[in-house]
């Protein structure tokens, strides 16, 4: 009696094909095959092997459930996948995995690809499917990046707040979600401004940290404090706290701003003007407002 195992994958950003939906498709297919008498000596469905919250960028054999699946089955057993793109991320991944399965004498079938992937024609179809899946993933990635860029231009909060800001959440209006926005974090800015002054005066990172840590404790402040945090707050302070991450600002300016060397520069005003001009040309609302002040 051969063992039949289902394989499924659920990515972090794809809610349309849940593990339960994939399992239902595979179980229905298995029941139909049994009724048709496909397996002369019988077959047993041994369950689903599912990788949860796993990106398709990770090769199948490098995923936890995928690796477990390979080591659990024996020669002559069968893996069933509901959708081809649940298994492979690229033609190279498909080729490597199919070769490994062939060496282990384990078969694999895809419910949406009705060909034997072990044959020459099947391998051709498999490669084409993997190429299409890769293309679709790259398109989704580009769409997501474009959407995030648009939200950032409009001033919406994306991920962690930039240094010197905190997130302000808004109640629903007419049943609609209102995007979270940024508001100045006065406490964090006080620390950033103080750290900037100390570092410009020639104080070392460690000395600035020890000085401000004492102040932090005496005043029961809630802002997390560390040497690195103080440098990053001070760097943001040098540019009057632009509402973007320090990494984003560094990329725009073409220089690393998270350093004592940057904080001690004399051209912060010119650098901020450069940042505003660059972002205003690209339609960032904050920069446009800064230019019209």
How high is the pLDDT of residue 191? 92
How high is the pLDDT of residue 19? 85
Q: How does pLDDT run across 105-140, given as a tens digit for each residue?
A: 999 888 887 766 656 655 555 555 655 555 565 665
Contacts 24+ apart (CB under 8 A), 250-257: 252/278, 252/279, 253/278
pLDDT class of 23 with cuts at 50, 70, 90: very high
pLDDT class of 143 with cuts at 50, 70, 90: low
Kindly report the CATH number assigned to the domain that includes residue 133: 3.40.50.1390
Q: How does pLDDT run across 41-83, given as a tens digit for each residue?
A: 899 999 999 988 776 677 788 888 988 888 889 999 999 999 8
Identify which of 17-26, 84-93, 112-121, 156-165 has the greatest average pLDDT: 17-26
Q: Both 198 and 131 in a single domain?
A: no
Average pLDDT, the chain: 83
Sheet holding 78-81, edge to edge: 43-52, 2-10, 78-81, 107-110
Residue 189 lies in domain:
165-291
Q: Both 79 and 48 in a single domain?
A: yes
How high is the pLDDT of residue 138? 60
Q: Both 117 and 227 in a single domain?
A: no
Between 152 and 2, name the one with better pLDDT.
2
pLDDT class of 260 with cuts at 50, 70, 90: very high
For residue 233, pLDDT over 60 is answered with: yes
Q: Both 191 and 232 in a single domain?
A: yes
For residue 141, pLDDT over 60 is answered with: no
Do the domain assignments include residue 172?
Answer: yes
Q: Both 74 and 122 in a single domain?
A: yes
pLDDT class of 267 with cuts at 50, 70, 90: very high
How high is the pLDDT of residue 128? 57
Q: Both 114 and 243 in a single domain?
A: no
Q: Both 103 and 198 in a single domain?
A: no
Do the domain assignments include residue 159?
Answer: no
Q: What percent of the chain has pLDDT over 90?
A: 42
**CA 86 to each of CA 63, 108, 134: distance values in angstroms, whole numbers, following the listed order:** 12, 13, 12
Do the domain assignments include residue 153?
Answer: no
How high is the pLDDT of residue 167? 87
Do the domain assignments include residue 149?
Answer: no
Cβ atoms of 159 and 220 closer than 8 Å: no
Q: Both 99 and 180 in a single domain?
A: no
Domain boundary among 96, 111, 142: 142
How high is the pLDDT of residue 229? 92
CA dihedral (188, 194, 197, 201) positive or negative = negative
Lowest-confidence pick of 20-34, 84-98, 277-291: 84-98
In sequence order, the 6+-apart residues with CB closer than 8 A to the CB of 88 are: 56, 60, 94, 97, 129, 130, 133
Q: Which of 275, 265, 276 is nearest to 196 (CA)?
A: 265
For residue 268, pLDDT over 90 is answered with: yes
Q: Which of 65, 70, 97, 73 is nearest to 2 (CA)?
A: 73
Report the domain count for the chain: 2
Q: Both 129 and 97 in a single domain?
A: yes
**CA 113 to each of CA 47, 68, 107, 174, 245: distance values in angstroms, whole numbers, following the listed order:** 21, 24, 14, 45, 44
Q: Both 170 and 268 in a single domain?
A: yes
Q: Rounded CA gap, 136 and 127, in Å?
A: 14
Domain boundary among 127, 142, 157: 142
Do the domain assignments include residue 108?
Answer: yes
For residue 20, pLDDT over 80 is answered with: yes
Number of neighbouring beta carbons within 10 Å of residue 292: 7
SS (H, E, C) the chain: CEEEEEEEEECCCCCCCCHHHHHHHHHHHHHHHHHCCCCCCCEEEEEEEEEECCCCCCCHHHCHHHHHHHHHCCCCCEEEECCHHHCCCCHHHHHHHHHHHHHHCCEEEECCECCCCCCHHHHHHHHHHHHHHHHHHHHHHHHHHHHHHHHHHCCCCCCCCCCCEEEECCCCECCECCCCEEEECHHHHHHHHHHHHHHHCCCCHHHHHHHHHHHHHHCCCCCCCCHHHHHHHHHHHHCCCCCCCHHHHHHHHCCCCCCHHHHCCCCHHHHHHHHHHHHHHCCCHHHHHHHCC
Between 67 and 85, name the one with better pLDDT.
67
Do the domain assignments include residue 158?
Answer: no
How high is the pLDDT of residue 274? 95
Tell me the pTM: 0.52
Do the domain assignments include residue 154?
Answer: no
Q: Both 138 and 171 in a single domain?
A: no
Q: How does pLDDT run across 185-207, given as a tens digit for each residue?
A: 999 999 999 999 999 999 999 99
Do the domain assignments include residue 253?
Answer: yes
Q: Both 191 and 275 in a single domain?
A: yes
């Amino acid at each position: 009696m051969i063992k039949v195992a289902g394989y499924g994958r659920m990515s972090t950003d794809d809610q349309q094909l849940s593990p339960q939906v994939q399992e239902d498709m595979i179980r229905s297919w298995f029941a139909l095959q049994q009724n048709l008498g496909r397996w002369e000596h019988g077959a047993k469905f041994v369950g689903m092997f599912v990788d949860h919250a796993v990106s398709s960028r990770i090769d199948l054999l490098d995923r936890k459930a995928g690796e477990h699946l390979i080591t659990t089955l024996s020669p002559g057993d069968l893996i069933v996948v509901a959708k081809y793109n649940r298994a492979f991320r690229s033609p190279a991944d498909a080729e490597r995995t199919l070769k490994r399965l062939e060496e282990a004498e384990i078969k694999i079938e895809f419910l949406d690809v009705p060909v034997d992937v072990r044959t020459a024609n099947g391998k051709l179809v498999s490669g084409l499917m993997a190429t299409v899946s890769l293309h679709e993933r790259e398109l989704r990635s580009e769409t997501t990046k474009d959407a995030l860029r648009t939200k950032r231009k409009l001033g919406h909060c994306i991920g962690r707040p930039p240094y010197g800001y905190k997130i302000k959440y808004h109640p629903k209006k007419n049943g609609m979600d209102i995007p979270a926005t940024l508001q100045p974090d006065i406490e964090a800015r006080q620390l950033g401004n103080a750290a900037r002054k100390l570092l410009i005066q020639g104080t070392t990172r460690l000395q600035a940290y020890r000085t401000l840590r004492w102040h932090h404790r005496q005043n029961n402040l809630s802002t997390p404090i560390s040497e690195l945090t103080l440098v990053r707050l001070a760097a943001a302070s040098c540019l009057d706290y632009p509402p973007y991450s320090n990494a984003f600002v560094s990329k725009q300016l073409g220089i690393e701003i998270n350093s004592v060397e940057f904080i001690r520069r004399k051209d912060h005003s010119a650098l901020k003007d450069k940042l505003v001009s660059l972002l205003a040309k690209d339609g960032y609302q904050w920069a446009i407002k800064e230019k019209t002040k």
